[in-house]
């Protein structure tokens, strides 16, 4: 999955499941959209299903530093690269 496809899917999830309105790639997830730690755990479960494999605990913990949609995309690309190597 390339970055554009990833972006499309992640934005769709944030809009449909997390009720984001007009999400911007550099928006602060917490300040601009009220995204909290509970949402982060829920999003990780959706990312696992999207990728088709389970994330390790250390990989999930790294996600806690995510602040923007761009960070989410970077994070997923990093996971994909690690699992394909």
Partner 1 sequence: MKRRVVITACSAITPIGYRRSDIIESLQQGRSGVKPLRDDGLLTQYIHSRVFGTVDYPIDYGFTRKDTKTMGPVAFYACQVAKDVLAASGLEQKFITSGRLGVSFSSTHGSPTVQRNIYKTFFSNLQSEFSSIGAVDYLKSMVHTTAVNIARMFGITGRIIASSTACTTSSQSIGFGYETIKYGMQDAMICGGADEYDTTTVAVFDNLLACSVDYNDRPQCTPRPFDAKRDGLVVGEGAGAVLLEEYESAKARGAEILGEVIGFACNNNGGDLILPNLDGITATLRLALADAGIRARDVDFVSAHATATKMGDVIEAQAIDAVYGGRPLVTGLKSYMGHTMGSCGAIEMILTLYMMEEGFVAPTLNLETVDERCSMLNHVREITNTETRIAAIQNFAFGGVNTCLLIAKNR
- Is 3 or 49 the residue whose CB approaches partner 1 more closely? 49
Number of shown-chain residues binding partner 1 (CB under 8 A): 12
- Measured torsion, CA atoms of residues 5, 81, 48, 71, in degrees rounded to the nearest 10: -70
Q: Per CB under 8 A, does 45 bind partner 1?
A: yes
What count of other Cβ atoms lies within 10 Å of the Cβ of residue 3?
12
Q: Per CB under 8 A, does 3 bind partner 1?
A: no
Q: Per CB under 8 A, does 38 bind partner 1?
A: yes
Report the alpha-carbon distance of residue 72 to residue 61 in Å, rounded.
13
Q: Per CB under 8 A, does 18 bind partner 1?
A: yes
Q: Per CB under 8 A, does 48 bind partner 1?
A: yes
Residues 6 or more apart in contact with residue 26 via CB below 8 angstroms: 68, 69, 70
The site for partner 1 (CB under 8 A) is made up of 18-19, 34, 38-39, 41-42, 45, 48-49, 53-54
């Amino acid at each position: 999955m390339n970055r554009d496809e990833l972006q499309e899917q992640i934005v769709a999830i944030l809009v449909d499941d997390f009720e984001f309105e007009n999400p911007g790639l550099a928006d602060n997830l917490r300040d601009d959209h009220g995204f909290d730690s509970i949402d982060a755990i829920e999003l990780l479960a959706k990312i696992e299903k999207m990728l088709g494999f389970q994330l390790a605990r250390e990989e999930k913990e790294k996600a806690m530093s995510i602040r923007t949609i761009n960070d989410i995309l970077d994070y997923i690309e990093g996971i994909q690269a690690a699992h394909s190597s």
